[in-house]
Amino acid sequence: MTKVDLISGFLGAGKTTLIQKLLPEVYKNQKVVLIENEFGEIGIDGSFLKETGIIVNEINSGCICCTLQGDFRLALMKVVEDYHPDIILIEPSGVGKLSDILHLVASVEGLEIHSQSTVVDANRALIYHKNFGEFFDDQIQNATCIILSRTQEINQEKLENDLAMIHELNDHVRVVTTPWSDITGETLYEAMVGSASFIDMTIHELEKHHHHDEEDHCDHHHDHEGCHCKHHHEQGHECHHHHEKHEEREENITKANQGLSKGNHIHIGTEEKHHHHHDGLDADDIFDAIGIETVQRYSHRELEEALAQLPETILRAKGIVQDHEGNWFFFDYVPGKTDIRQGKPAYTGLITVIGTNVDVEKMKEIFRIH
């Protein structure tokens, strides 16, 4: 399967600038083909990108999700057949709907959507949301990562207003708020593909310490009759259990985010299943994981005071946050030991807390997430 990275964004958001940053830092050792769609008759950005040595396939004089659907499918198939790339980068027209483009890519055999990101101009986001509605909003609603451009040009209030609008349209999306000049292409790309989740990484660390015999594990089989388990659970019990857990998690996320100020967003648990068992239970049944994306700033002392308030049920806390001067702190907490040190910028402020029976409201209070 050939991986596809989709980078959408409204007109003038900064898509080509982002690609120019990613090419030497992320894609340098891979065979990359860019399919670029400019709405006008003449492709301008493609000429800049060709200078980097990348293979550029331009589809102009229309929109690939409207009048040029056939040309786009043919271009994708030809790229796979002629070049056998590691990655296909797609930069759609700024007026294209991301939902339509995702559908088109999914219709081509042999392609795998690796990331679907949207670049949003932090200066113009609210204006475009108001004036262009469906075209602009669709790009946010169907992205898994929003990359805010030009955040260094706006104040905290405007940033928080942008984030409130984005999370209203898509409450599960990752949002890059750090100026691009302050972070590496690798950090940006980790946010795009979703590999930078502190929750996932920290749970993985916890689970490494719990080893059980193979017979303690439930094997999950899917056949014509549903879900089965070696421990003679009722047919479909495990599948039903995980479905209930997912619904409960969605309800908890909605509740946790109610009333939060702009710029803060809480995630609970992970989308991935963790298969380490404790007497027949998943780790998901024992550990609670809370992830917080925030633009809240903390001094060294404020962080120390917050971590000192964590109850004994918290097994691990990690994060990267900004201080009031714009520097970044990395913190790492286990019971009885706290480490706070200067770190590299993240795509936004990140806090993860893992433990048993974690009280979300208490965590919001401790870290001043209001």
Question: Is CATH 3.30.540.10 correct for 2-193?
Answer: no
Domain spans, the chain: 2-193, 198-366
pLDDT score of 208: 47
Look up residue 348 and give its DSSP letter.
S
pLDDT band at 153; cut points 50, 70, 90: very high
- Lowest-confidence pick of 9-18, 50-59, 125-134, 182-191: 50-59
- CA distance from start to end of the chain: 44
Residue 229 has pLDDT above 90, yes or no: no
Looking at every residue in the chain, the average pLDDT score rounds to 77
Task: State if pTM tops 0.75.
Answer: no
pLDDT at 248 over 70: no
Per-residue pLDDT band for 201 (boundaries 50, 70, 90) equals low
**pLDDT tens-place string over residues 292-325:** 889 999 999 999 999 999 998 898 899 899 999 9
| Residue 251: pLDDT over 90 | no
CATH of 198-366, one of 3.30.1220.10, 3.40.630.30, 3.40.30.10, 3.30.56.10: 3.30.1220.10
- Which of 149, 191, 189 lies closest to 32 in space, CA to CA? 189
47, pLDDT greater than 50: no
pLDDT confidence of residue 182: 94
Tens digit of pLDDT for each residue in 256-294?
Answer: 666 665 567 777 764 333 344 444 445 455 678 888 889
Per-residue model confidence (pLDDT) at position 77 = 86
pLDDT at 1 exceeding the cut of 50:
yes
Q: Are 213 and 279 in contact (CB under 8 A)?
A: no
pLDDT at 139 over 90: yes
Listing DSSP states for 249-300 in one string gives HHHHHHHHHTTPPTTEEEEES-SS----EETTEEGGGT-EEEEEEE--B--H
Q: What is the pLDDT of residues 345-364, one digit of tens each?
A: 989 998 988 888 889 999 99
pLDDT at 213 over 60: no
Residues 6 or more apart whose CB falls under 8 angstroms from that of 50 comprise 56
